[in-house]
């Protein structure tokens, strides 16, 4: 009789908590319970547009014996929208307000990554406060990428959106 292969641990890298307004309802203590119940060695919190739950998550997950991974999901645009004196905001502003080119989950690897993620999260709101949505540019990501891992996969990612639009060049860029 053949032996069953060993069970590989699962690490969820895109958990949204109740701090992801209108997207998640699960509380941090419940995430910790589910992670231990399902024997996850680590789990990532990637709330949309904020790091409000980062400290609570880190403390609860660590206390449960699971490695916490801090992250955040941010909308991205290729270039910063510019104001057009004649027509108000360019079309890129409307695209940014609809979620930009897509969304990236950014995971923290180290202290530099945490500092950069805080900068990016703040930049998304502070530099684009006149718009109906928050976002960062790919230039922002290039300037603040040390210590971060970007997850581009999924239907909301910029690569998938470009491919779905039939724009292979944009996906490669």
Q: Are 122 and 87 in contact (CB under 8 A)?
A: no
Confidence check: pLDDT of 97 > 60: no
> Domains in the chain and their CATH numbers?
12-172 (3.20.20.140)
Tokens 């779905």 -> residue: 164
CA distances from 168 to 107, 156, 163 (A): 26, 16, 6
pLDDT at 85: 45
Tell me the two tokens of residue 10. 């699962």
The sign of the torsion formed by the CA atoms of 64, 66, 67, 72 equals: negative
Collapsed DSSP state (helix, strand, coil) of residue 63: helix
Mind listing the pLDDT tens digit for each residue in 101-159?
Answer: 788 999 999 999 999 999 999 998 888 665 657 888 889 999 999 999 999 867 788 88
Find the range with the poorest average confidence among 13-27, 42-56, 102-116, 127-141. Answer: 127-141
| E strands in 93-132 | 102-108
């Amino acid at each position: 009789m053949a032996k069953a292969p060993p069970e590989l641990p699962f690490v969820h890298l895109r958990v949204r908590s109740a701090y992801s307004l209108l997207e998640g309802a699960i509380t941090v203590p419940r995430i910790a319970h589910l992670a231990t119940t399902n024997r996850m060695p680590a789990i990532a919190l990637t709330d949309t547009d904020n790091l409000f739950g980062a400290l609570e998550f880190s403390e609860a997950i660590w206390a449960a014996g699971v490695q916490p991974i801090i992250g955040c999901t941010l909308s991205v645009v290729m270039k910063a929208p510019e104001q057009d004196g004649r027509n108000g905001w360019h079309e890129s502003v409307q695209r940014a307000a609809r979620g930009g080119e897509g969304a990236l989950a950014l995971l923290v690897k180290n202290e530099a990554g945490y500092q950069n993620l805080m900068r990016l999260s703040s930049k998304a709101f502070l530099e684009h406060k006149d718009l109906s949505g928050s976002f960062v540019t790919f230039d922002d990501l290039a300037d603040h990428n040390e210590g971060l891992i970007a997850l581009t996969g999924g239907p909301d990612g910029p690569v998938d959106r470009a491919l779905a639009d039939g724009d292979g060049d944009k996906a490669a860029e």
